[in-house]
Structure formats: C-alpha cells, structure tokens
Amino acid sequence: MTSLTLPYRATVTEACAWLAEQTGTPWSLARLLEQGGLPYVWLDYSVEWVELFHDGVTRYAAPIVFIGDKQHLAAGVGAGPDDVWLRFTRDSGNIAIELKAPGLRVPSAGLHFQERDLLRLLKELQHPQPGESESDAEKLPFVLPSALKGLGREQILIAFAGVGKVDLEQGMAAGVGIFGDDGARVRKNSRGGKNSHLWHPVTLAFGLHDVHRVPMAHLKKAFATQPLLREWKADWLESLRLLGE
C-alpha cells in the first residue's frame, strides 16, 4: 500500500486523508479545527485591504486565528462562493490585526493547512503531554463546545449591562450589522418564538468595541466578572492574545 505524501501546503481533502492514514480514524474539517489545526487562506492585494500587505507583498497566506471565524468556516464551507470570513488575522508582517467591520469574505478555494502544523498536530496526538494544566489547555486555539452555542436576548442584556452607551436591546431586535447573521447572531434557539435568536458573546464583544466604540476595559471586566460569560472566557482570552490586547 502506497503511503500518502503530505504536501507543503495541503488542501482540506489532502490534510484529512493524510491524518486518516496516520491515525486510522476518519477526519473532517470540523475535527481538524477542533483538534487545533490552523487553516490559512490566500489573499491577493487590494487597495481596500492595503493594511494587510507590507514591503511590496502582493499575495500571502493569512491565518484564520479567531474562534468565531473558525466556527463559521466549520459550519459553512462549501455553502457559497465566499466561504471564509476573516474578522481577525495576522498581516503579512505577522502582526495581529482586527479588520474593519464586517470583515473580509474570500473564496475557500485557497484554503489550506501547512505541512509543519499538521506534523506538529500528529506528534501531539501520538505523544500527548501528561499533566497538562487547565490554564494551558485554555490557551489552545480550538473551537470549544461553547463556541457552537450562544446567549439569548435577556442573557446578553444581563451579561453586557452597562458596558457602553449602545442600546443592546434595540440592536438585537433590529438584527442588522453586528447584531445580525453576518455579525454575532449564530443560530436560532430550537424553541422558536420571537425571542429565539442566540448571539455569540465573544463576537458581539469585539463588534461592540469596533463598531460602537465600547471601551475594551469594560468588555474585559464583563468577561472577568459575569457568570453568564464563564463558558466563553477561554475563547475571549485567546482572541485577546492573538490581537495583542
């Protein structure tokens, strides 16, 4: 039986096939992201996103680092022409950058994983480190189960009460911008009804800061003190770390 060769830049199909051969278990994009796989997507230079390109760079592979962008990727790849959503990434100089709302939507055709990252992932799977602390685990950039859920309207109002002057209740009722499906609203509650929508608190927090100028200090305090945000604290801290906050 011929062993599969791992390309320097592997497509999703190539990466999953190679990992399946190495581990003897099936792999999908969702599993790859859950296990900490770091996806990249090719970006071509444009005047609109000039801040992403430095020193004459006209094309480079941007990492998909934000937990919300990974969640969108896992849920929507193949669903449309622009399947990759970048709201936070690193520019061509490897500096963390927050893109202006609503972010950059690009085709998934250039989506890939790098050989070095996949080799490192396989090594970690085959030789797990004993005694890993909870704090260390929280630093890993994988999609936590909490990232697949959200908070309802009343919970959001409680969790972010007093963080800024924005009218959260009105924003969620309107369901546009950062409060809509292209922002922090992730899916409908299975119960249905007029208050059935859910919002991802980490995505919403960054949107409040970027769009409505809510002070970052107020948002950090909310995640540090609000019990309703406890499940999302690891996601929040990881996103802050990637942005150098």
Q: Are residues 107 and 210 in the same domain?
A: no
Q: Are residues 89 and 199 in the same domain?
A: no
Residue 3 domain-assigned?
A: no
Query: How many degrees, rounded to 5, is the angle at CA 148 between CA 142 and CA 152?
Result: 135
Q: Are residues 121 and 57 in the same domain?
A: yes
Query: How many degrees, rounded to 5, is the angle at CA 120 between CA 96 and CA 21?
Result: 130
Provide the domain limits for residue 107: 9-136
Could you read off the pLDDT of 2-32 as tens digits, one per residue? Answer: 588 888 999 999 999 999 999 999 999 989 9
Could you read off the pLDDT of 158-203 as tens digits, one per residue? Answer: 889 888 888 888 888 888 888 887 778 876 544 445 456 888 898 8
Could you read off the pLDDT of 192-238 as tens digits, one per residue? Answer: 454 568 888 988 898 888 888 888 889 999 998 888 888 888 888 88
Could you read off the pLDDT of 56-83 as tens digits, one per residue? Answer: 889 999 988 887 888 888 876 555 556 8
Residue 217 domain-assigned?
A: yes
Q: Are residues 15 and 102 in the same domain?
A: yes
Residue 48's Cβ-count burial label (10 Å; 0-12, 13-18, 19+) is exposed
Q: Are residues 100 and 187 in the same domain?
A: no
Q: Are residues 33 and 75 in the same domain?
A: yes
Q: What does pTM read for this prediction?
A: 0.58
Residue 104 domain-assigned?
A: yes
Query: How many degrees, rounded to 5, is the angle at CA 74 between CA 99 and CA 114?
Result: 75
Q: Of the candidates 136, 170, 194, which is a domain's last residue?
A: 136
Q: Are residues 23 and 122 in the same domain?
A: yes
CB-CB contact of 69 with 45 (8 Å): no
Q: Are residues 154 and 131 in the same domain?
A: no
Q: Are residues 32 and 118 in the same domain?
A: yes
ω into residue 102 within 30 of 0, thus cis? yes
Q: Are residues 130 and 16 in the same domain?
A: yes
Residue 4 domain-assigned?
A: no
Number of folded domains that form the chain:
2
| DSSP 8-state symbol, 80 | S
Q: Of the candidates 117, 136, 155, which is a domain's last residue?
A: 136
Q: Are residues 80 and 113 in the same domain?
A: yes
Q: Of the candidates 136, 166, 190, which is a domain's last residue?
A: 136
- At 79 the three-state DSSP class reads coil
Residue 72 domain-assigned?
A: yes
